[in-house]
């Protein structure tokens, strides 16, 4: 089963998506997937199964070889200003936090708000709110190099949420964290989920995947299982 | 944080690169500004020679390497005087004399005492020399002060002792730093009887000086009339060459600077590939990326221009102290010299930085993020 009905309106819809890289490597092979508003979905599977590729297509960081990727009902192929889409519609969290080392925590969050309607004062206020929300109070003026791995990843989440996206996409966000930080990061995701944010989380770690409502298991570029997470 | 603050922070975080680039820009700006203010100062110094006195314009030999090589003989001086519209002509011989290591270029002006008033010379102490005297001299008030001489002092110049008969003022520093001799005495000492360097022309009342200038230019084609500093190049070719060299140096400085900036920026692009990939991934537009890099470069250009101008002040004042130029060169800091500084810095960074900025903007976010 590749699709599962859900309670909200579809936020992400992949229809017969194929992605073939140069050299003929078929990373995605006819993917059909619907993620609805408010869902917390974990994409899981072994290395090289295509889960990160799927996330990149949804984030408009890459385009499919064939098939359609719809976000909020809009075909990404038809969107001219993908920068704007990425800025407004999605929040991205990477395995490596990818923070700017030269600016402090608060500026790392503010930087994604350039080009939005917010003034400098509003950007700072929003960034400081997120710092508090991510339990990073007192660290706002620290450089990323002065933070622990878990703290850096929470800054990355704060940055992803800065423009209040409806969709949070996280690619192995716990991949480089110790177990205590993983627990804390999952608490953050659950808290975000409870506020209505739709989350698509890519992980190879089953314990992390269990934090989601739904688990999509991939192998060799195909979805082999799409099921509600067993909470028992 | 403002966008400008972000740009400044980026510059500050890459100190070695930023200092290196700022230094390169500063050196280019310093070179260009020093050349510009030096040549402008030399032009001004030279122009003061032609503007001494109350003349409407000056006449000198055309296309000589420098003004002091100009030769006007008695016949030509007479023809100038006889030109329609000319009221009065004063022929002046200008020479230089190596007085000492400290004063390697003493300006000597040979002029008849009767021409002193038409020439605009005020005798402020003592009296003028006798027209036919061979051992008398008048000193400009600056020269007298520099040498510690006064009326009645003995002054060794032109191979003999001369008596200082008077101290004069012309109202410009170039003239007041020199010495005046009877015209015939200076001509004899320099073995140029009947020769003057420049003729100062006063036109008759109600006559347009330009009309008279044209007549002289047409009637005596080996001579040229000069009224303004910009016309000075008609007589003094050195100044024309110097100005051409200044313009050439500016172009060269911009090109070399642009290559340095471009090279450094391309290296920086490799260093910052992941950062640029991230910014693109989180929604920065290509235009914003270009703006960031151009803004960073413009800030460096401004810093470089400021430092370059400050260095130019220092270097120029050192050049002014060179014995060969002391008293002759007075640096002329014109607005155009500062505009040239800004142009050099901006042109270097825009030309050198644009290609790397565009390349950064065209980076594929995913590829850039995975760059090692």
In DSSP notation, chain A reads ------SS-EEEEEEEEEEE-TTS-EEEEEEEEEEETT-EEEEE-STTSSHHHHHHHHTTSS--SEEEEEETTEEGGG-S-HHHHHHHTEEEE-SS----TTS-HHHHHHGGGTTSS--HHHHHHHHHHHHHHTT-TT-TTS-GGGS-HHHHHHHHHHHHHTT--SEEEEESTTTT--HHHHHHHHHHHHHHHHTT-EEEEEES-HHHHTTSSEEEEEETTEEEEEEE----
> How far does B364 lie from chain A, in Å, by closest CA?
8
Whether B14 has its CB under 8 Å from any CB of chain A: the answer is: yes
Check CB contact under 8 Å for B366 and A56. Answer: yes
3-state secondary structure of B169: strand
State pTM to two decimals: 0.73
> How far does A5 lie from chain B, in Å, by closest CA?
30
Whether B16 has its CB under 8 Å from any CB of chain A: the answer is: no
From chain A, pick out residues whose CB is under 8 angstroms from the CB of B283. 83-88, 112, 115, 163
Share of chain B above pLDDT 90, in %: 50
- The position carrying tokens 């001489």 is B149
Q: Are A176 and A182 in contact (CB under 8 A)?
A: no
Check CB contact under 8 Å for B283 and A112. Answer: yes
* CB-closest option in B2, B10, B14 to A120: B2
3-state secondary structure of B164: strand
Residue B249 pLDDT level (bands cut at 50, 70, 90): confident
Distance of alpha carbon A123 from the chain centroid? 22
* CB-closest option in B1, B285, B369 to A83: B285
Give mean pLDDT, residues B236-261. Answer: 83
- Token pair of B36 as six digits: 């510009």
Q: What is the 3-state secondary structure (H, E, C) of B31-42?
A: HHHHHHHHHHHH
Handedness of CA A138, A143, A148, A152 (dihedral sign): positive
Checking if the pLDDT of B320 tops 90, the result is no
Q: Cα–Cα distance between B311 and B331 in angstroms, integer?
A: 14
B85 dihedral zone (left: phi>0; alpha: psi -120 to 50; beta): left
Instruction: State the pLDDT at residue B38.
Output: 85
CA A186-A62-A177 angle, 5° bins: 25
Check CB contact under 8 Å for B9 and A107. Answer: yes
Q: In this complex, how many residue pairs, one in chain A and one in chain B, have their CB atoms less than 8 Å apart?
A: 66
Q: Cα–Cα distance between A215 and A200 in angstroms, integer?
A: 10
Q: Are B167 and B150 in contact (CB under 8 A)?
A: yes
* CB-closest option in A84, A103, A123 to B283: A84
Give mean pLDDT, residues B80-90. Answer: 93
Instruction: State the pLDDT at residue B49.
Output: 64
Check CB contact under 8 Å for B282 and A100. Answer: no
> How far does B20 lie from chain A, in Å, by closest CA?
18
Instruction: State the pLDDT at residue A231.
Output: 55
Backbone torsions φ then ψ of B267, nearest 5 degrees: -65, -40
Whether A112 has its CB under 8 Å from any CB of chain B: the answer is: yes
pLDDT string in tens for chain A (232-residue length): 334 445 578 999 999 999 999 888 999 999 999 999 999 999 999 988 999 999 999 999 999 999 999 999 899 998 888 889 999 899 999 888 789 999 999 999 999 999 888 999 999 999 999 999 888 888 999 999 999 988 999 999 999 999 989 899 999 888 878 888 888 888 888 988 998 899 999 998 888 898 899 999 999 999 998 888 765 4
Q: Are B111 and B180 in contact (CB under 8 A)?
A: yes
Q: Cα–Cα distance between B14 and A149 in angstroms, integer?
A: 24
pLDDT tens digits along B37-53: 888 887 777 666 666 56
Check CB contact under 8 Å for B283 and A86. Answer: yes
pLDDT tens digits along B103-158: 777 889 999 999 888 778 899 999 999 999 989 999 999 899 989 999 999 999 99
Handedness of CA A179, A181, A187, A188 (dihedral sign): negative
pLDDT tens digits along B198-229: 998 989 999 999 999 999 999 999 999 887 66
Checking if the pLDDT of B183 tops 90, the result is yes
Instruction: State the pLDDT at residue B92.
Output: 92
- Tell me which of B14, B282, B287, B371 to substitute to probe the interface with A (most A C-beta atoms closer than 10 Å): B282
- Residues 144-173 on A with a CB inside 8 Å of B are 159-160, 163
Query: How far, CA to CA in Å, does B279 sit from each of A139, B283, B336?
Result: 22, 6, 40
């Amino acid at each position: 089963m590749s699709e599962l009905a859900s309670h909200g309106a579809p936020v992400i819809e992949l229809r017969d998506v194929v992605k073939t890289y140069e050299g003929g490597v078929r990373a995605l092979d006819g993917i059909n997937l619907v993620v609805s508003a408010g869902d917390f979905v974990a994409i899981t599977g072994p290395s090289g199964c295509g889960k990160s590729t799927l996330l990149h297509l949804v984030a408009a960081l890459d385009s499919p070889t064939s098939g359609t990727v719809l976000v909020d009902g809009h075909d990404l192929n038809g969107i001219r200003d993908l920068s704007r889409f990425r800025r407004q519609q999605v929040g991205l969290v990477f395995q490596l936090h990818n923070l700017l080392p030269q600016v402090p925590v608060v500026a790392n969050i503010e930087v994604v708000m350039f080009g939005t309607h917010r003034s400098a004062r509003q950007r700072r206020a929003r960034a400081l709110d997120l710092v508090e929300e991510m339990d990073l109070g007192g660290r706002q003026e620290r450089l990323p190099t002065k933070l622990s791995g878990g703290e850096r990843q929470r800054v990355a989440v704060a940055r992803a949420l800065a423009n209040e996206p409806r969709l949070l996409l996280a690619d192995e966000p716990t991949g480089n964290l110790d177990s205590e930080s993983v627990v804390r990061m999952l608490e953050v995701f659950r808290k975000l989920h409870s506020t209505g944010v739709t989350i698509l989380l890519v992980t190879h770690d089953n314990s992390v995947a269990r934090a989601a409502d739904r688990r999509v298991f991939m192998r060799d570029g195909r979805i082999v299982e799409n099921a509600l997470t067993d909470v028992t | 944080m403002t966008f400008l603050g972000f740009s400044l922070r980026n510059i500050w975080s890459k100190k070695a690169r930023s200092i290196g680039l700022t230094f390169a820009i500063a050196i280019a700006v310093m070179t260009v500004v020093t050349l510009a203010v030096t040549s402008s100062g030399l032009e001004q110094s030279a122009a003061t020679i032609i503007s001494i006195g109350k003349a409407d314009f000056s006449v000198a030999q055309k296309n000589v390497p420098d003004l002091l090589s100009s030769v006007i003989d008695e016949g030509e001086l007479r023809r100038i005087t006889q030109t329609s519209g000319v009221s009065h002509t004063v022929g002046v011989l200008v020479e230089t004399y190596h007085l000492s290591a400290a004063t390697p270029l003493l300006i000597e002006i040979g002029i008849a005492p009767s021409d002193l008033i038409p020439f605009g010379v005020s005798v402020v102490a003592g009296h003028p020399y006798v027209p036919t005297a061979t051992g008398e001299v008048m000193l400009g008030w600056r020269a007298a002060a520099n040498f510690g001489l006064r009326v009645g002092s003995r002054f060794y110049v032109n191979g003999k002792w001369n008596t200082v008969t008077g101290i004069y003022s012309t109202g410009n520093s170039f003239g007041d730093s020199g010495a005046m001799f009877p015209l015939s005495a200076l001509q004899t000492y320099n073995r140029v009887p009947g020769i003057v360097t420049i003729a100062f022309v006063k036109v008759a009342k109600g006559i347009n000086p330009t009309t008279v200038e044209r007549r002289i230019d047409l009637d005596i084609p080996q001579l040229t009339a000069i009224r303004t500093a910009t016309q000075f190049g008609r007589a003094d070719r050195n100044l024309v060459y110097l100005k051409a060299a200044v313009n050439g140096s500016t172009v060269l400085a911009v090109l070399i600077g642009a290559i340095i900036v471009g090279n450094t920026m391309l290296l920086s692009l490799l260093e910052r590939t992941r950062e640029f990939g991230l910014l693109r991934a989180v929604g920065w537009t290509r235009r914003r990326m270009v703006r960031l890099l151009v803004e960073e470069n413009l800030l460096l250009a401004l810093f470089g221009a400021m430092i370059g101008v400050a260095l130019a002040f220092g270097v120029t004042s050192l050049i002014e102290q060179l014995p060969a130029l002391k008293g002759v060169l007075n640096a002329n800091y014109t607005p155009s010299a500062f505009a040239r500084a800004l142009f050099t810095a901006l042109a270097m960074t825009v030309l050198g930085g644009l290609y790397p900025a565009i390349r950064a903007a065209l980076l594929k976010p995913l590829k850039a993020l995975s760059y090692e």
